[in-house]
Structure 1
Amino acid sequence: MVNRVLLVAFHYPPVRESSGLQRTLKFSQYLPEFGWEPAVLSAHPRAYVTTGDEQLHEIPAGMPLKRAFAFDTARHFALAGRYPGFLALPDRWAPWWLGAVVSGLALIRQLRPRAIWSTYPIATAHLIGATLARLSGLPWIADMRDSMTEPGYPEEAAKRRWYLRIERWAAERAAKVVFTAPGALRMYAERYPHIPAERWAVIGNGYDEENFTRAAAMASAPPAAPGHQLRLVHSGILYPSERDPRPFFAALAELRRRGVIDAANLRIVLRATGHDALHREHVAAAGIADLVEFAPSIPYEAALAEMLAADGLLLFQAANCNHQIPAKLYEYLRAGRPVFALTDRAGDTATTLLQAGIDTLVPLDDATAIAQGLERFVARVRDGSAPAVTPAAAAAYSRYARTRELAVLLDEVTSGRPLR
């Protein structure tokens, strides 16, 4: 008999706007090697804001994949910029719930999976997972990844009530609740002290070697000439609060004022920040527009190739995210380039970096410390002493290794349950 699992995920190719799609995509690729056959229940591509076909070829051939009826309320049901609020709870993709439950029940009848797995950050995915589990009696794994709620988040009262309800359902009804960082697990264990400790689990994010192999063929080696213009790259969203780059911009302005850096010897590339207009204003106000390049979104493997070719990589993570680890961190480690991390040393992100031998860390909110640290980092990059991680050492963070962890968890939650 086949061990099958139903993966419920909003983000799946051809979506392009979230790096979170890599988690589900790689699980669906590698689970068969660990004795589990996946089926994916996702959303119709019309619900995606941005799409691209560059990762469609990575979807396993022959794998059951259902793209259920779905809409984006904010785009498809809006009149003069306004849309019905009840169609946007718990999020803008709430209409997906109806289509996915109908399609999911059909898949369950046809494929007879042994477990259901749903993944955040689209809250409707957990609503679907909870509904399918209740109607089918199958064990449900809620892949929270990060926390759904924080003090003051979500800000909208109705949305917050829905999020709190869904996370409570996950804590109380799921067979396992999975996080990507130990800090998030501790947060939820404290929030729900009546839940047994064995219900919580950590499966981190990671990188994929196959993608890096193809990216390496596209990448050019960093220039080796003394005094060449260094390129420091940040790849991905720069949230105005959780990854506020303004102290970094102030540090760049200070180093420029002191003559430590200029446009001839340093280039900062901010790739696909998601908030270019806001950050451009701050860069202009700091007088460093010629140092900072705002680059558009590019296909995933092209972004990996850019990491491989960079002189150094930039990571931003505020102290209020100490219980989170950005998925790009693992790609940075595999890229093997020096990393300059603006983060709190007490957080999970810093702990992971330090365990990997990366000690070039400064607080995100301290412009003076950033300026001092960046000056040292640039010097170490130029003399070759900046720490980096070898591919062999990075292997522990691969998506393949993470999939093995998920398979073990699936074995655990289905142990002793007869095949249906």
Structure 2
Amino acid sequence: MIAFHFPPMRGSSGILRTLKFSRYLPEFDWEPIILTAHPRTYANTSNDQVAEISDRVTVYRAFGFDTSRHLSFMRRYPGLLALPDRWVSWSLGAIPMGLYLIRKYRPDVIWSTYPIATAHLIGLTLSRLTGLPWVADFRDPMTDVDYPPDRLTRQMYQWIEKKSVTYCTKAVLTTPGAVDDYKERFPQTPASRFHLIENGYDEESFAAAEANRIKEQKKNARLVLIHSGIIYPSERDPTQLFEALAVLTQQELISHTSLHVILRATAHDEYLLQLIDQYKIGDIVSLAPPISYREALSEMLAADGLLILQASNCNNQIPAKLYEYLRARRPILALTDPVGNTAAALISVGVDTMAPLDSRNDIMRELLRFLALIKGNEAPIASMENALAGSRRSRTKELSNLLESVAQRAGS
């Protein structure tokens, strides 16, 4: 299992996909061997999830560095040494180590996971050199018309993407829209090569968060809405939300005594602070630093409402946090395109509190309705049955079945 995102890295929900797959795969008679990067490559590290690595999982960490941090001078670095990404040096250590691991363990399948493109470059190389079947876990599409924004990077991504789709045994996506997108963009590739395994949440982590949560009496009528995780300036731009909050404040329909919006671990605090100051909503909206994963789950469980931000340019994607939100069983306000995959996932479980992220007026109307539903204890919440369907253990069973079919096909 080739994955850049793995503990002790901190700051990406992508860690959980590999971490939980590897934790639960032994229950389905698979023995995962993790090939990841040396911790020096990570900008931020934390040991809070290291204990969740199963003792039945073997972890190898290959040489690598971050071009932007380790080769920069006065904040500038050679762009060619950051293609396809800033961690391309990881391949220099991972490919020889991968060949060593293949000789030592004789694995049945190679699995690699994006969004670090270098991971698929490593998987592609090892599969081509050894002939082992390869499952390429794309999660979200690697490229779009104008993504990545840099032309040279986009061309490199397109090359890796095309080679991966051509030579992998199975290509895994996380949403129905992404599967359809790949089938359309690669019509010469058998449709059966593309496979859906959605993201999910971890029931063990939620059980621990619920056990440790201290229920407090609400001291006032101020409702707390939480957005937990990265807010990308393009894909999750909150400008129209902030403008809506400003207008509703001016109209005295909301105030700092009735509403508190907490944006947790945004990774773009400087950009958001400028917007907060611009719209003069600092008494309603606050930024909060990263906390441990279980603390974040406890915060979700205690919130009055949970926020999803997803622009229409991500209609074929579903934020991984959505599955955690559904399991937290708190009201969800989704600011997203009504025809996108995120909206479809919510509607399928009976949640209809949503508005387009790019429409101030729609957000104003829906936010007021959402707050009224919360106060009346009438906000739609996913059933426990629907939430449980998205557990990481359930997703791992799907992966196990896929790996089994790939291994059997290779052995026949």
TM-score (norm 2): 0.98
Alignment partner, residue 403 of structure 2: 410
Aligned-pair CA distance for 1:223: 4.5
For structure 2, the 5+ residue unaligned runs are none
Q: Deviations for 1:327-369, whole angstroms, at most 9, x for unmatched residues?
A: 0000000001000000111111000001111110111111001
Whole-Å Cα distance in 2 between the matches of residues 183 and 95 of structure 1?
32
What secondary structure does 2:410 align onto?
coil
Whole-Å Cα distance in 1 between the matches of residues 99 and 172 of structure 2?
23
Alignment partner, residue 100 of structure 1: 94
Whole-Å Cα distance in 1 between the matches of residues 38 and 303 of structure 2?
36
Kindly tell me the number of residue pairs found equivalent between the two proteins. 412
Whole-Å Cα distance in 1 between the matches of residues 227 and 84 of structure 2?
31
Q: Partner letter of residue 59 of structure 2?
A: L
Q: Deviations for 1:363-411, whole angstroms, at most 9, x for unmatched residues?
A: 1111001001000100110110001124333110010000011011111
What secondary structure does 1:93 align onto?
coil
Whole-Å Cα distance in 1 between the matches of residues 224 and 343 of structure 2?
23
1:167 aligned onto 2:153: no
- Contact 2:120 2:136 (C-alpha < 8 Å) held by counterparts: yes
1:396 aligned onto 2:389: yes
- Contact 1:30 1:400 (C-alpha < 8 Å) held by counterparts: yes
Alignment partner, residue 200 of structure 1: 194
Q: Partner letter of residue 344 of structure 2?
A: T
Aligned-pair CA distance for 1:221: 3.5
Alignment partner, residue 309 of structure 2: 316
- Contact 1:313 1:337 (C-alpha < 8 Å) held by counterparts: yes
Of 241, 251, 274, the residue aligned with 2:244 is 251
Q: Partner letter of residue 82 of structure 2?
A: A
Aligned-pair CA distance for 1:265: 1.1
1:140 aligned onto 2:113: no
Q: Deviations for 1:174-214, whole angstroms, at most 9, x for unmatched residues?
A: 00001001111111111110000100011000000011111
Whole-Å Cα distance in 1 between the matches of residues 238 and 186 of structure 2?
34
Whole-Å Cα distance in 1 between the matches of residues 150 and 216 of structure 2?
46
- Contact 2:28 2:397 (C-alpha < 8 Å) held by counterparts: yes
What secondary structure does 1:195 align onto?
coil
Of 144, 152, 156, the residue aligned with 1:158 is 152
Alignment partner, residue 18 of structure 1: 12
1:291 aligned onto 2:274: no
Aligned-pair CA distance for 1:62: 4.2
1:326 aligned onto 2:358: no
Distance 1:167 1:316, change over 3 A: same
Aligned-pair CA distance for 1:151: 1.0
- Contact 2:177 2:341 (C-alpha < 8 Å) held by counterparts: yes
Of 332, 357, 361, the residue aligned with 1:339 is 332
Q: Partner letter of residue 373 of structure 1?
A: E
- Kindly report which structure 2 residues correspond to 1:198-277, keeping only aligned pairs within 5 A, or say none: 198-221=192-215, 223=217, 228-277=221-270
Alignment partner, residue 174 of structure 2: 180
Distance 1:368 1:416, change over 3 A: closer
For structure 1, the 5+ residue unaligned runs are 1-6
Whole-Å Cα distance in 1 between the matches of residues 27 and 144 of structure 2?
37
Whole-Å Cα distance in 1 between the matches of residues 264 and 382 of structure 2?
22
TM-score (norm 1): 0.96
